[in-house]
């Protein structure tokens, strides 16, 4: 048989085998992820919409006991109702029942004592986690409903895209509270509760801080948002050392632009320069981001990034982050690629700025920035 004919036969077989292997690997990874959450108590702030709600739904499907925290009572009730309707995967049901029973079993019960009414797999807690008292109350209510927290996801946050000099002073504080304060106070309340569990459970536990790609690089028009999200990165890297002796891991997640209600609100009044530099990363679905986050947390990763740009930013800004990756070997190349992005963004920003100044001059508006109140 001639070589071309052999190749014509072998190439399709090879491609089919590769596709089958990839499918099998993804299925196995999905099973491992689901098994990590089956029967465990998953707490999520910001769980009434967007990434948080998508992650809560995936956790419910994995057989987890889920506590969703939100400030808006109506949104919270709607989210809880929707999450309670999510079917639990058949493969997760048995593991979830076993783990839940073990977690709920009292240390000792009087003879003949009746069983308490079962707690629904999803409960909602109304709290403002941007304050220490609100975060502590949320964790206490979650623990009362579902027992000790196994996975605490600090997802709550909000972005406002404005030029720094045009942002009123009070808005600076509000943005820092929404993006750093929520994670800081929830992490503190969760860490206090999780480290206080004695004896510590044998299964993995994890604190998850949801930052942003803007927590890895500066973004025009997002200075205050960047300040909060960069703060979460520092918090996560410090807590990695503090919580590790307790057997509690810490993961920091850096999502890209995601099609959520928060992203829609962020786009209102977004500067043209911000739009220009943000377009390259594309727009992800909440479900895709939630799936990547849950998989990374289940795998015990300290950093979770998304796509080429996210991976590149994570590598080039690795610094002293735990668990080195490809940046050890490709740091120089990654830095060169990053510098290319800096030049490219400067070009985009310069063109958009000149166009804005020209338009302002043509309408008699002048070229200065709007005065912040």
Percentage of residues in the chain with pLDDT exceeding 70?
80
Please state the rounded mean pLDDT for residues 42-58: 97
What is the model's pLDDT at position 243? 98
What is the model's pLDDT at position 364? 76
Please state the rounded mean pLDDT for residues 173-202: 96
Alpha carbon distance 76, 125 (integer Å): 8
Question: Can you list the positions of beta strands (E) in the chain?
Answer: 41-45, 65-70, 122-126, 151-154, 205-210, 248-253, 303-304
Coil/strand/helix, residue 320: coil
What is the CB-side half-sphere exposure of residue 236 using CA atoms within 13 A?
33
What is the model's pLDDT at position 106? 42
pLDDT in tens, 104-156: 544 333 434 455 556 679 999 999 999 999 999 999 999 999 999 999 999 99
Residue 10 has pLDDT above 70, yes or no: no
Residue 23 has pLDDT above 90, yes or no: no
Please state the rounded mean pLDDT for residues 202-212: 97
What confidence tier does 334 reach under pLDDT thresholds 50, 70, 90? confident
Please state the rounded mean pLDDT for residues 184-207: 96
Q: Where are the domains of the chain?
A: 30-87+120-319+328-355
CATH class of the 30-87+120-319+328-355 domain in this structure: alpha beta
pLDDT in tens, 297-311: 999 999 999 998 898
Place of tokens 């400067």: 346
DSSP-assigned letter for residue 281: G
Select the more confidently predicted residue: 90 or 68: 68
Residue 203 has pLDDT above 60, yes or no: yes
Select the more confidently predicted residue: 318 or 39: 39
Closest CA to 293 of 151, 83, 160: 151
pLDDT in tens, 72-94: 999 999 999 999 999 987 656 55
Select the more confidently predicted residue: 312 or 82: 82
Residue 266 has pLDDT above 80, yes or no: yes
Place of tokens 């929830």: 186
Closest CA to 302 of 235, 369, 226, 225: 235
What confidence tier does 370 reach under pLDDT thresholds 50, 70, 90? low
Please state the rounded mean pLDDT for residues 172-186: 97
Please state the rounded mean pLDDT for residues 332-342: 88
Please state the rounded mean pLDDT for residues 195-214: 96
**Phi, psi for 89 (deg, rounded to 5):** -60, 140
Coil/strand/helix, residue 90: helix
Average of per-residue pLDDT values in the chain: 87
Supply 264's token pair. Answer: 């829609």
Listed in sequence order, the residues at least 6 apart from 303 whose beta carbon sits closer than 8 Å to its beta carbon are 251, 252, 253, 254, 296, 314, 321, 323
């Amino acid at each position: 048989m001639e070589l071309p004919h052999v190749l014509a036969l072998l190439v399709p077989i090879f491609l089919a085998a590769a596709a089958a292997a990839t499918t099998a690997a993804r299925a196995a990874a999905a099973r491992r992820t689901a098994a990590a959450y089956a029967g465990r108590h998953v707490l999520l702030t910001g769980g009434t919409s967007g990434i948080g709600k998508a992650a809560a739904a995936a956790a419910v499907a994995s057989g987890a006991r889920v506590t969703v925290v939100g400030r808006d009572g109506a949104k919270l009730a709607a989210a809880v109702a929707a999450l309670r309707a999510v079917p639990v995967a058949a493969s997760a049901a048995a593991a979830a029942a076993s783990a839940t029973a073990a977690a709920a079993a009292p240390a000792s019960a009087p003879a003949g004592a009746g069983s308490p009414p079962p707690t629904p797999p999803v409960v909602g807690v109304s709290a403002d986690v941007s304050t220490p008292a609100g975060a502590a109350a949320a964790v206490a209510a979650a623990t009362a409903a579902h027992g000790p927290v196994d996975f605490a996801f600090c997802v709550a946050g909000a972005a406002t895209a404005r030029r720094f000099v045009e942002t009123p002073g009070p808005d600076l504080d509000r943005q820092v509270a929404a993006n750093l304060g929520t994670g800081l106070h929830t992490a503190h309340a969760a860490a206090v509760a999780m480290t206080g569990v004695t004896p510590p459970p044998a299964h993995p536990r994890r604190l998850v801080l949801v930052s942003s790609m803007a927590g890895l690089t500066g973004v025009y028009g997002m200075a205050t948002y960047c300040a909060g999200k960069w703060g979460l990165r520092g918090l996560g890297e410090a807590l990695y050392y503090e919580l590790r002796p307790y057997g509690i891991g810490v993961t920091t997640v850096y999502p890209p632009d995601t099609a959520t209600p928060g992203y829609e609100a962020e786009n209102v009044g977004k500067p043209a320069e911000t739009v220009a530099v943000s377009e390259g990363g594309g727009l992800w679905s909440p479900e895709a981001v939630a799936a990547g986050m849950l998989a990374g947390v289940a795998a015990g990763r300290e950093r979770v990034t998304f796509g080429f740009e996210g991976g590149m930013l994570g590598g080039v800004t690795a610094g002293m982050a735990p668990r080195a990756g490809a940046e050890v070997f490709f740091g120089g190349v990654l830095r060169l690629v990053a510098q290319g992005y800096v030049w490219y963004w400067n070009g985009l920003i310069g063109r958009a700025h000149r166009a804005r100044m020209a338009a302002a001059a043509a309408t008699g508006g002048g070229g200065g920035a709007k005065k912040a109140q």
